[in-house]
Amino acid sequence: MSRMSSEELGTRLIAYIEGDVALEDDPIDLDTDLLLSGLVDSMGVIMVVNWMSDELGIAIDAVDVVLENFQSVRDMVSYAQRRDAVAAD
Amino acid sequence: MTVSDDPRSPRSSRVSLLSDLTDLARLRTVVADVGDLAITDGDRSLTHAAFTEAVARSAGTLVAAGIGPGERVAVHLHKGVASFVAVHAVLRAGGVMVPLDPLAPPAHANRVLQDAGATVVITDTAASKLGALLGGTRAEVALVTGRARAVLDEPPSEVPVRVVDWDAGADGELLPAPVVRDPDDPAYMIYTSGSTGRPKGIVHTHRSGLAYASSAAAAYELGPDDRLVNIASLHFDQSTFELYAAPLVGASVVVVPDAVLRFPASIAALVAETGATVWYSVPYVLRQLTARGALDRHDLSSLRWVLFGGENYPPSELAALMRLLPGARFSNVYGPAEVNQCTFHHLDDPPPDDALVPIGRPWAGTDVVVVDEELAPVEAGAPGELLVRTPTMMSGYWDRPDLTAAGIVTLPGDPDAGRWYRTGDLVVDDDAGRLVFLGRIDHQVKVRGQRVELEAVEAALLDVEGIHECGVVATGEGGDVELIAVVVADEDLDEVTVRRSIARRLPAAAVPAEVRRVASIPHTSSGKVDRTAIMDQMKAGEDRL
């Protein structure tokens, strides 16, 4: 099975967060700060972590679930790249 | 009266010279070494000297902006060094500090602003939200920082406020002396959800705030070497511990910013890096820290005391955390925001699995009594409502003499005619003379330690287009309480739409975790929503929207 591209992961993450996670219906993009407002709360972070584990088939270590890796969709994609879970750009 | 700078003056007498909170920030430079850390949020750090100066300059900005003594000044800032500076600047300038939840929808903050009649707002909200925040309020001046500074170039046309650059205060004039206040003047207000959906403001005076700070510093043996972790937001009364008790003894504060708070492993890293010594939060945050904080790889052994309160801590999970932090003392603390804090229970050993952790005994200077519906003391060992009499008690609810009269009572036949606060909490005195929390006498619940009135959630649901009838119940126990809404609603209404509508009006804790569709809502014979019947219905199972 071919790996998801990082572009595809970004698009799917945005759709998932907009559709199921965000507590506001404003559109988001790769660089939206998801944590500055009430857009994604602590439950939302858990939802996103679980979604990424399921979609990418990787176990996300608790020590990696930190602000730096989840502040924006771009941060999440680059984390997935570092984990070699999606193709690099 | 202000703090003496005389180094020969013994420390205790200097503290006792304080009669209000206006000069509290500067006390740090008197009771601790000026070059030591006063506060850090991981990003920015200030020494005691720098913090005191920042407070004095920001207070100067407030006075220059025209605030007068007793005016309500709303602090609508994300948590960090800057928010702590702002709080003390408001107090120093003689204002009444009204913290707003920066993560709550603007409509919620707007209702609080209206109720408080705040004339000045310090905000870092997105510029696009300023209209919704300030519309219809008495706000005359908006002091903007962070994202809100975008309006400096383009003032909002929809709200007639004067916009002032809050950041410019960093280079502004110092306010050399605090604006003198009477100890019985209001110092700050904490807003909580009222049962009708109208928020109610708990007014603390300089006297009650200072009494709390002194009691907390004494009870937890705080000193200049302590570093207090600030988890609670400013609008949540637990933050008064770090805001007021820390400067009283020259302890420093490690502020966990709002964004970091969503990541237990980031919190653990911050505590480890800063060598924090005292922690105070709701059990929810500690449970998250235990489950997802990667505590096996972060050294939190600097913590000497872990305080928790606001809801029951599941004993088995508490025991697990106590085993992970064997060097720390653990205490369950209790007290509605109306009295700050009033009881504590120190745990020497992990609690047994099958018993609730007691809320303990009252701390020094505080009296408690357990009463029945006629306010008569119950027999020993019988459950009843907890009443509290303490110098840390609020003066009343803002602009609500009806609520104040219902909440603060004198007891029949009490010769001192003392003022007792009715907590609304059901407790029982266990056979060891400790109080155990049993539940509420009304429909208030705690979700992740935050107060939620079920009626207020129902009122918000009824405003959602397509919902015709509704009821809200709380399920789960201890730290796992979730709200479930049952609704009679139009066919095309979906759950995400409902949750977002509520999230636009009420704080996150009040947003139902599930919304279920029912054919009708059961009512009691008196016409009220029948929550027991709803719980029974749910066991039978209905469809989620």
Write the CB contacts of B320 (distance below 8 Å, at least 6 apart in sequence).
B290
Q: Does residue B227 lie within any of the structural domains?
A: no
Q: Does residue B282 lie within any of the structural domains?
A: no
Amino acid identity, position A80: A
Q: Is B499's Cβ below 8 Å from some Cβ in A?
A: yes
Phi and psi torsions of B491, nearest 5°: -55, -40
Q: Does residue A1 lie within any of the structural domains?
A: no
What's the token pair of residue B32? 């601790």
Asked whether residue B413 falls in the same domain as residue B321, the answer is: yes
Q: Is residue A41 within 8 Å of A64, Cβ to Cβ?
A: no
Closest CB to B259 among A25, A36, A61:
A36
pLDDT of residue B13: 38
- 3-class secondary structure, B129: helix
Asked whether residue B452 falls in the same domain as residue B418, the answer is: no
Q: Is A59's Cβ below 8 Å from some Cβ in B?
A: no
Encode pLDDT of A27-55 as tens digits: 899 999 998 767 888 888 999 999 999 99
Q: Is residue B99 within 8 Å of B235, Cβ to Cβ?
A: yes
Closest chain A residue to B295, measured at CA: A63
What's the token pair of residue B223? 């000193």
Encode pLDDT of B42-62 as tens digits: 999 999 999 999 999 999 999
B-chain CB neighbours of A17 within 8 Å are: none
pLDDT of residue B119: 96
The residues in B 166-205 lying below 8 A from A, measured between CB atoms, are none
Asked whether residue B402 falls in the same domain as residue B321, the answer is: yes
Asked whether residue B383 falls in the same domain as residue B476, the answer is: no
Name the helix (H) or strand (E) containing B253: strand B252-255
Q: Report d(CA B260, CA B86) in Å as an integer.
A: 20
pLDDT of residue B340: 94
- Do residue A71 and residue B259 have CB atoms under 8 angstroms apart? yes
Q: Report d(CA B545, CA B531) in Å as an integer.
A: 19
Return the closest-CA partner of residue A28 out of A50, A43, A46, A48.
A48
- Do residue A66 and residue B503 have CB atoms under 8 angstroms apart? no
- Do residue A40 and residue B262 have CB atoms under 8 angstroms apart? yes
B431 class by beta-carbon count within 10 Å (0-12 exposed, 13-18 middle, 19+ buried): exposed
Q: Is B60's Cβ below 8 Å from some Cβ in A?
A: no
pLDDT of residue B72: 98
What's the token pair of residue B161? 């406020």
A-chain CB neighbours of B511 within 8 Å are: 23
ipTM confidence score: 0.90
Q: Which residue has the tokens 């003198």?
A: B180
Distance from CA of A88 to the nearest CA of B (A): 26
Mutate to test the interface with A, among B263, B289, B300, B482 (most CBs of A within 10 A): B263
pLDDT of residue B12: 42
- Do residue A35 and residue B262 have CB atoms under 8 angstroms apart? yes
Closest chain A residue to B263, measured at CA: A66
Q: Is A89's Cβ below 8 Å from some Cβ in B?
A: no
DSSP notation for B68-98 = -TT-EEEEE--SSHHHHHHHHHHHHTTPEEE
Distance from CA of B79 to the nearest CA of A (A): 11
Return the closest-CA partner of residue B357 out of B434, B459, B245.
B434
Asked whether residue B45 falls in the same domain as residue B65, the answer is: yes
- Number of separate domains in chain B: 3
Distance from CA of A36 to the nearest CA of B (A): 6
Cross-strand partners of B439: B426
Q: Does residue B395 lie within any of the structural domains?
A: yes
- Which residues form the domain of A34? 6-82
Length of chain A counted residue by residue: 89
- Number of separate domains in chain A: 1
Asked whether residue B475 falls in the same domain as residue B372, the answer is: no
What CATH number is given to the structural domain containing B355? 2.30.38.10
Q: Report d(CA B431, CA B434) in Å as an integer.
A: 7
Closest CB to B266 among A19, A24, A66:
A66
Q: Is B79's Cβ below 8 Å from some Cβ in A?
A: no
Write the CB contacts of B80 (distance below 8 Å, at least 6 apart in sequence).
B41, B43, B44, B255, B257
Q: Is residue B183 within 8 Å of B205, Cβ to Cβ?
A: yes
Last residue of a domain, one of B405, B440, B475: B440
A-chain CB neighbours of B266 within 8 Å are: 66-67
- Which residues form the domain of B344? 305-440
Asked whether residue B537 falls in the same domain as residue B429, the answer is: no
The list of chain B residues with pLDDT below 50 reads 1-14
The packing angle between helices B315-324 and B283-292, to 10°, is: 60
B-chain CB neighbours of A36 within 8 Å are: 78, 147, 259
B-chain CB neighbours of A19 within 8 Å are: 496
Last residue of a domain, one of B440, B468, B492: B440
Q: Is A21's Cβ below 8 Å from some Cβ in B?
A: no
Phi and psi torsions of B20, nearest 5°: -150, 180
- Do residue A20 and residue B78 have CB atoms under 8 angstroms apart? no
Distance from CA of B254 to the nearest CA of A (A): 17
Q: Is A15's Cβ below 8 Å from some Cβ in B?
A: no
The residues in B 281-310 lying below 8 A from A, measured between CB atoms, are 288, 292-294, 297
Q: Between these two residues, B377 and A88, which has the higher pLDDT value?
A: B377
Q: Does residue B493 lie within any of the structural domains?
A: yes
Asked whether residue B373 falls in the same domain as residue B426, the answer is: yes
- 3-class secondary structure, B143: strand
Asked whether residue B401 falls in the same domain as residue B451, the answer is: no
pLDDT of residue B17: 65
Q: Does residue B274 lie within any of the structural domains?
A: no
Q: Is A79's Cβ below 8 Å from some Cβ in B?
A: no
DSSP notation for B431-458 = TTS-EEEEEESSSEEEETTEEEEHHHHH
Last residue of a domain, one of B374, B407, B440: B440
Q: Does residue B329 lie within any of the structural domains?
A: yes
Return the closest-CA partner of residue B199 out of B309, B74, B305.
B74
CA angle B528, B531, B533 (to 5 degrees): 105
Asked whether residue B416 falls in the same domain as residue B519, the answer is: no
Phi and psi torsions of B66, nearest 5°: 100, 15
User: How many CB pairs lie under 8 A apart between chains A and B?
Assistant: 59
DSSP notation for B291-324 = HHS-TTTS--TT--EEEE-SSPPPHHHHHHHHHH
Q: Does residue B528 lie within any of the structural domains?
A: yes
Q: Report d(CA B5, CA B9) in Å as an integer.
A: 8
